[in-house]
Structure 1
Amino acid sequence: MRELNELRRGRGLDAADLHQRIGPCLRAACEIADDDPPAAARHKVVLRLTELCGRLPADLRLAALAALGLHEEAAGEFLDRRISWLASVLDRDPRTARRRIDLAFRRLDELLGAPARERDLHPLAGWYVESMKAVLRLDRDAPDVQEERRIVAEVDELDELVLSFSVPAVPGLDPVPAIAADVLFGGEIVEARQVSASHAQFVMRLPSPLRLGQRHEYGIRFAPQRSSLRPYYVMTPLRRCEKFSVRVRFDRDAPPSRVWRLNGVPGRVIDDGTDSGDALTVNSLGEVGLEFHDLHQGLSYGLQWSSDPGGD
């Protein structure tokens, strides 16, 4: 707690002498080596504390981010001004805002005792997904997927994201159509790449560059140009993803006979269409929803279905 309180003085994690104010407990919790240069020490402590703030309830997360100078609307200000900003956002007096910060720091102190998560080693690293929500509409003539994501920058001056989307083709039936994408908010697509018959990449420019540890939210709609879709929807993260929720809306007049959860399975399991045994129920509106946490890179999460009552 003493070391956390030391960090919030002055400009918080934006302080020029930050590396000199990181105490031994924080150095150990953030895996900062004795020979790490100041920039590396700052990088590690910002990412670790940003990750832990993301686990706090909304009001405590806001308090911690403001106190540490990590919130984009309070960054760079001195502590008293950041507290005043927090008080105005919470519609409370500064004393209450300070108590909220103290409570948030006590929670951070508890979380810092847990081991740090493994870093994302994917070559496109530079940001990770804190949360993703997806809605797949299959009750329309032209199915579409809408995704909303909250990401966290792992580098300074992050101004573009490379987004991937796959729609497996049916061999011998599907041509190689373009997979359309439309940004709903939070950016603009500046380049589209049809990598293969099933896979596309999109380069999305952000409204302004993100600094290390800064969060950003965006929404995007994908329109698969297929004669038919394979009977599943999954996310297979190539980078770190902490939370993923999905809702599928089937045609309520012709729902699938069986739907099952895919909770971290290899791709071949999906291709085989094997029922996992973790059955899901389609509600009266034709909808199924589910949620996953702390996804493993390279494994698939989502759901699969079959309209054949007797087999896969």
Structure 2
Amino acid sequence: MGTTDEHTLPFVRELNELRRGRGLDAADLHLRIGPCLRAACAITEADQPAAARHKLVLRLTELCGRLPADLRLAALAALGLHEEAAGEFLDRRISWLATVLDRDPRTARRRIDLAFRRLDELLGAPASRGDRHPLAGWYVESMKAMLRLDHDPPSLQEERRIVAETDELDELILPFSVPAGPGSGPGPGITADALFGGEVVETRPVSASHAQFVLRLPSPLRLGQRHEYGIRFTPQRTELRPYYVMTPLRRCEEFTVRVRFDRAAPPSRVWRLNGVPGRVVDDGVDSGDALTVNRVGEVGLEFHDLHQGLSYGLQWSFGD
């Protein structure tokens, strides 16, 4: 029975070439991207150096996000993608990694080798579809939402991990909708306050149902850098539509939601909405994918690889 020599793995060989010096911060990066990585990242001969770097960083950042935490850290540090180790030479990045992992540098190097072997497997798979939203500049790697309907007024807490798709990303525009009913006021009546990871600096009413919030980040993000933030939305209306959905306009890889109902007046039916057009939500038709409210009044769901423009979440009804 034989063993696999990492030097025979094409992506490992090319990743080892890229990690030299300043890694992906190297001025001559475009000249050091091997043919396998060019193909995996859709880099063409017509791409300028900045475009080649952009494609490479986003693809590798995405795939590093699929690794276990220690291997993700190792790969990001080795390639110079981790914000705390960016710009440093390889030996210093390895020393930083060893300190964070509380291991010696030899162990840190072995962790990098293992991470690169895992990346070799992932790079051989088809790339994710691109972001089709005209305001591309960041995408959502994961989002967690908690909707509280067991107190008045209701509240929604969102925590997101995003990835910058451009350099110097310093603010995010966050849309939020509360469908208006008859006699509703001219604005959506939503307040938002940042829990961590930024501050809300502007509210932009768009319509009776829709508003945008501008979240200023603590510091500008680099291309491929991750950032986490939390925000609480509080609609001022007492009557809300019986559903909660996320309709991603940007790329979103993972979405989890938990709704806590009032246990004194729980819904009679709850059903899953798994990638449906907005009109289906408005019509309130039971999808047939029934959900059970647990004994503390909660329902939890998880979705992956969401399609832009479709709605994901849950809907409910009271009475018969």
Q: CA deviation at 1:177?
A: 4.6
- Residue 292 (structure 1) aligned with residue 303 (structure 2): yes
Aligned AA (2:62): E
- CA deviation after TM superposition for structure 1 residue 171, in Å: 2.5
Q: Name which of 86, 97, 108 aligns with 1:97.
A: 108
Equivalents in 1 of 2:232, 2:200: separation in Å?
A: 11
Q: Could you tell me how far 1:119 is from its partner in structure 2?
A: 1.5
Counterpart CA distance in 2 for 1:168 and 1:57 is 40
1:172 is displaced (CA, Å) by 3.2
For residues 95 and 36 of structure 2, what CA distance do their matches in structure 1 show? Answer: 29
Which among 67, 71, 91 is matched to residue 82 of structure 2? 71
Q: Which amino acid aligns with 1:59?
A: D
Partner of 2:271: 260
- 1:126-275 map, 5 Å: 126-173=137-184, 176-275=187-286
Deviation per residue, 1:23-63 (Å, 9 max, x gap)? 00000000001121111111110010001111111111111
Note if contact 1:179-1:194 (Cα within 8 Å) is conserved in structure 2: no
Residue 155 (structure 2) pairs with residue 120 (structure 1): no
Q: 1:79-90, aligned counterparts within 5 Å?
A: 79-90=90-101
| 1:110 and 2:131 aligned | no
Shift of 1:176: 3.1
Question: Would you say how many aligned residue pairs link Structure 1 and Structure 2?
Answer: 309
Letter in 2 for 1:275: D
Quick one: distance in 1 between partners of 2:269 and 2:201?
A: 40
**What do residues 96-138 of structure 1 show as CA deviations (whole Å, max 9, x unaligned)?**
1111111111111111111112221212110000000000000
Say if 2:189 and 2:237, in contact at 8 Å, map to a contact too: no
Contact 1:174 1:226 in 2 (8 A): no
- In the aligned structure 2, how far is the partner of 1:11 from the partner of 1:138? 50
CA shift at 1:296, angstroms? 0.2
Shift of 1:279: 1.0
Is the 2:153–2:238 Cα contact (8 Å) retained in structure 1? no
Gap regions ≥5 residues in structure 1: none
Opposite residue 239 of structure 2, the aligned amino acid is S
* Contact 2:269–2:316, Cα closer than 8 Å, also in 1: yes
Q: Which ranges in structure 2 are unaligned for 5 or more consecutive residues?
A: 1-11
Q: Deviations over 1:132-156 (max 9, x none)?
A: 0000000001100000000000000
TM-score where L is the length of structure 1: 0.97
Distance in 1 (CA, whole Å) between partners of 2:130 and 2:200 is 27
Secondary structure in structure 2 of the residue aligned to 1:130: strand
- Which moved further from structure 2: 27-36 or 91-100? 91-100
Q: Taking every aligned residue pair, what percent have the same amino acid on both sides? A: 85
User: For the Cα contact (< 8 Å) 1:174–1:227, is it kept in 2?
Assistant: no
